[in-house]
Amino acid sequence: MANLTGKVALVTGASKGIGAGIAKELAARGAAVAVNYSGSKAGAEKVVAEIKAAGGKAIAVQASVADPDAVGALVKTVVKELGPIDILVNNAGIYEVGPLEQITPEHYRRIFDVNVLGLLLTTKEAVAHFNPNGGSIVNISSVVVDGVPGLTVYSATKGAVDTITTSLAKELGPKKIRVNSLNPGMIETEGAHAAGFIGSDFQKAAEARTPLGRIGQPQDVATAAAFLASDDSGWVNGQAIFASGGFTL
């Protein structure tokens, strides 16, 4: 299981949910992990404490990935504290549910700035400080790339993530940096609870469309992310891997 020993990983938006699960899984496999957070310092510190209690190495670093200056400082801190980056997991993301008539320029910019611009800014800075031997970038996308009513802008951002993944896989391949997307289905997270999805008709509909008959847990995504981060997936590049239990819209 410890196939990431000696690696340095940066996981954005890792104070809770899928990001926290990925950070803990990478650490359990031997990586030193930078747990990035935007607003939840307590959540990030809890993840770090859990990693350390299990014998791993981690630090918490605050930064909004949509802020160019903050992203530069984030990456520099990671490199200073842990060393050159081997693994980047672009997990930070936000979503807002609403019909077409509620879409505004502010709504659009808010979601695209974090989900797309933030991913690009973080990748740009991280690649400049990657291990010369290469590494792996995992972009957290979603099954909603096929389009979901009420999540039009969010779905568009995840479609962009998959396209960016394909482009960067080709561009960064010569640097021995692999780039893949990981597309979860519905996952039980703090955010899903706060949005009222858990226990709702929305959850029941998702389960009905999932051949495995349940929604996912953060660990379901974390193990897939660890595979893409490791040398075990050394010949996997430019792919969108669906971690969704076979969910179809």
Closest C-alpha to 26, from 167, 127, 136, 163: 136
φ, ψ at 196 (rounded to 5°): 80, 15
Q: From the candidates 37, 95, 108, 154, give the one annotated as an active-site residue.
A: 154
- 108 counts as catalytic: no
Query: What are the CA-CA distances from residue 59 to residues 30, 31, 101, 102 (Å)?
Result: 14, 12, 42, 39
With tokens 């692999």, the residue in question is 178
Query: What are the CA-CA distances from residue 197 to residues 56, 97, 204 (Å)?
Result: 33, 11, 9
Which residues are CB-neighbours of 194 under 8 A, at least 6 positions away?
none
Specify the amino acid at residue 235.
W
What span, in angstroms and rounded, lies between the C-alpha atoms of 152 and 81? Answer: 39
- The dihedral sign for the CA sequence 41, 44, 48, 50: positive
What span, in angstroms and rounded, lies between the C-alpha atoms of 187 and 31? Answer: 24
With tokens 């349940």, the residue in question is 214
Q: Is 195 helix (H, G, I), strand (E, B) or coil?
A: coil
Give catalytic residues, as residue numbers: 154
